[in-house]
Structure 1
């Protein structure tokens, strides 16, 4: 199956019920922990000096920071092989399965679109056969296109502050949930805008979603 175009959401058919738009990396699938293991196999390591990957991924032999193009090459290689590395967060599969009985779910992953097929296979294998959009563009306009003029409840789940801020600007009535693992990179990440509820695990996110869906 060909991957859908990056900005094309016309293939997604929503039912007459609430919508949940959900990030994937470090929200549904572990990203940073397996990426560190992947780097080790490539002769590199991440030094927790700041939030950025570029400048903090170094050669294990020389200690020299990799150039930006080499960091992007490693990230692309990881996404190419993601099916061998990435596993679901605790309770992610079961929670989304339960919530999907009451709401539509769409995955919106910040990943180069050329790796859509690999992620589609991985999600399907895990029983997460919800529509998938892969884009490196701001998420707010995409969520707005999905939700359009619907008056039903809408929620957005992400681990990164800039994505939550983008959606808050474009879909003001959207419930925002900052769900993130306790990783060294997330501890250094910018804080989410004030007032956005945080969830450290899917059981907490589920309670927030159910309260919003039935409100």
Structure 2
């Protein structure tokens, strides 16, 4: 593989210091293929779990688009953003440690760990980092975790630069695939939506290279991409 260019000062400055420190501590080894994988809706359920949690509190939940602010209602009336934020944050604080696995994720990553190093690149709030790490470890996914902020492209490019080997990026967000294409264009991008609730709503990300239906398909694609 062609040597990646050295990072420029302005690239490093675009990554928040806390995120940069977590990237450094992820322990990426040069010369070994890398898998950078999102967590929510790729490794663990968010929307389905959140819907159950909200309905237990007496709200109605109907997801018709890829956003939460139109999905939560009380007596048929949509909640305001000011009412929704505490619910989302309450779920994150209470349930991150208990999120359920997406079918096949842990088994696929266990097998792929034989051919690549794995880093979880997630945008969950930094305040629940310990909960996210514990949740994934309890689901047999004890991989290094980076709590990113905003677009993942620059952090992904940092990881790819450190690995200097084939890299696969798996995420459910079209916006994140666009960020990856913009800042880490030579990384292979797989758009995977693990939630059956979201699959009918989320269309294929145009900026992704591959669109696996589930982790079985994703594993086969990743092996081909990484040469393993």
TM-score by length of 1: 0.89
Query: Which moves more between the two structures, 65-74 or 184-193?
Result: 184-193
1:121-200 matches, within 5 Å, as 121-148=134-161, 150-181=163-194, 183-189=196-202, 191-193=204-206, 196-200=209-213
For 1:101 and 1:199, locate their aligned partners in 2 and report how far apart those are by CA, in whole Å.
Answer: 21
Q: Indicate which of 46, 50, 56 corresponds to 1:31.
A: 46
Count, aligned residues: 210
* Residues 174/22 of structure 1: CA separation in 2 closer, same or farther (3 Å cut): same
SS in 1 for 2:106: helix
For 2:53 and 2:208, locate their aligned partners in 1 and report how far apart those are by CA, in whole Å.
Answer: 35
Deviation of 1:163 (Å): 0.7
SS in 1 for 2:190: strand
Q: Indicate which of 98, 102, 105 corresponds to 2:111.
A: 98
TM-score by length of 2: 0.84
Determine whether 1:81 maps to 2:91. Answer: no
For 2:44 and 2:146, locate their aligned partners in 1 and report how far apart those are by CA, in whole Å.
Answer: 15
For 2:70 and 2:158, locate their aligned partners in 1 and report how far apart those are by CA, in whole Å.
Answer: 35
Which digits, 9 at most, give the CA deviation of each residue in 1:111-162, with x for residues without a partner? 1111111111111112211011123311101111222264310110011111
For 1:88 and 1:57, locate their aligned partners in 2 and report how far apart those are by CA, in whole Å.
Answer: 24
Deviation of 1:88 (Å): 0.9
Query: Which moves more between the two structures, 99-108 or 147-156?
Result: 147-156
* Residues 65/202 of structure 1: CA separation in 2 closer, same or farther (3 Å cut): same
Q: Which runs of 5+ in 2 are unaligned?
A: 1-16
SS in 2 for 1:58: strand
For 2:19 and 2:164, locate their aligned partners in 1 and report how far apart those are by CA, in whole Å.
Answer: 25
Cα RMSD, aligned residues only:
2.0
For 2:162 and 2:143, locate their aligned partners in 1 and report how far apart those are by CA, in whole Å.
Answer: 22
Deviation of 1:110 (Å): 1.9
Deviation of 1:84 (Å): 6.2
* Match of residue 26 from structure 2: 12
* Residues 91/111 of structure 1: CA separation in 2 closer, same or farther (3 Å cut): same
* Residues 7/65 of structure 1: CA separation in 2 closer, same or farther (3 Å cut): farther
Q: Which runs of 5+ in 1 are unaligned?
A: none
